[in-house]
Amino acid sequence: MKEVSFSDIAIVSCGTLSLELNHLRKEGFLDTEHLFFTTPGLHEDIRELERQLIDRIKKAKKRADKVLVVYGGKFCYVNAYDPLRTMKTIVEEHGKGVARIEATHCMDMIASEEERARIAQEKAGLDKVWWMVPGWIKFRHKVFKGWDKGLANENFPRHTGGAIVLDGIGYVDQYMAEKPEELLEYSDWMGIPIQGYSVSLDRFKSLLSDQANALHRR
């Protein structure tokens, strides 16, 4: 993968992906000094999501000429009050110096639809899978804010293939070693087993690089 610099780019992301982005900065792939995060799980509260996202973009633009938004387009922001207002609309309102990663949601940033289909076949056969990334474990109580056991029972058990965490940072193995009882409690609350699946962050890096290059060409 050809290296690209992020030194003149500020990144605005859903906090759910803060683990991966901080990992990439620590390893040197992201050479930006500016990471801004919204509260994890705001897809459940799109008005607050929009408020925080716009606030973070404005703050980011004060630090850098270019801003890369790490948010999915299709599923992260669904505005029932104004269906024509989309994540694309919000980003475009801030000018050519702001771009968004090309993915539908955080899981799609880590593994493509084709890769997820392969993983699901390997781990669950024909059964339906509930996909997660490590942030869905670390920030569980924010991602599922307001969910009770009844709502959990309505949503998770239909995923008979269980929950698979697309883990590019070794988080699940460490969590299982340090807090096995919490993971078991989480699994019991969901009503399905949870397992980690080790993946690389190559797709994530590629998607970030594509938009960084696009910003540099503008």
Number of domains in the chain: 2
Domain shared by 122 and 57, yes or no:
no
Domain shared by 188 and 123, yes or no:
yes
Instruction: Tell me what the pLDDT averaged over the chain comes to.
Output: 95
Domain shared by 68 and 103, yes or no:
yes
Say which residues have a Cβ less than 8 Å from residue 65's Cβ, sequence separation at least 6.
Answer: 8, 97
Domain shared by 94 and 51, yes or no:
yes
Q: Where are the alpha helices (DSSP H) in the chain?
A: 18-26, 46-63, 87-92, 106-110, 113-124, 135-138, 140-143, 149-155, 171-178, 180-190, 202-217
CATH of residue 212's domain is: 3.40.50
pLDDT band of residue 192 (cuts 50, 70, 90) is: very high
Average pLDDT over every residue of 118-136: 96
pLDDT band of residue 2 (cuts 50, 70, 90) is: low
Domain shared by 116 and 192, yes or no:
yes
Domain shared by 84 and 153, yes or no:
no
Domain shared by 182 and 171, yes or no:
yes
Domain shared by 100 and 122, yes or no:
no
Average pLDDT over every residue of 184-204: 98
Residue 100: its H or E element: strand 98-100
Structural domain range at position 209:
9-107+201-217
Average pLDDT over every residue of 123-136: 96
- pLDDT number for residue 1: 54
The pTM assigned to this predicted structure is 0.94
The residue whose two tokens read 């780019």 is: 9
Share of residues in the chain with pLDDT > 70 (%) = 99
pLDDT above 90 (res 57): yes
Q: Is residue 59 part of a domain?
A: yes
- pLDDT number for residue 43: 86
The helix, strand and coil proportions of the chain, stated in percent and rounded to the nearest 5, come to 50, 15, 35
Q: Is residue 4 part of a domain?
A: no
Residue 97: its H or E element: none
Q: Is residue 3 part of a domain?
A: no
Domain shared by 29 and 100, yes or no:
yes
Domain shared by 142 and 163, yes or no:
yes
CA end-to-end span of the chain: 22
171 token code pair: 């988080």
- pLDDT number for residue 80: 85
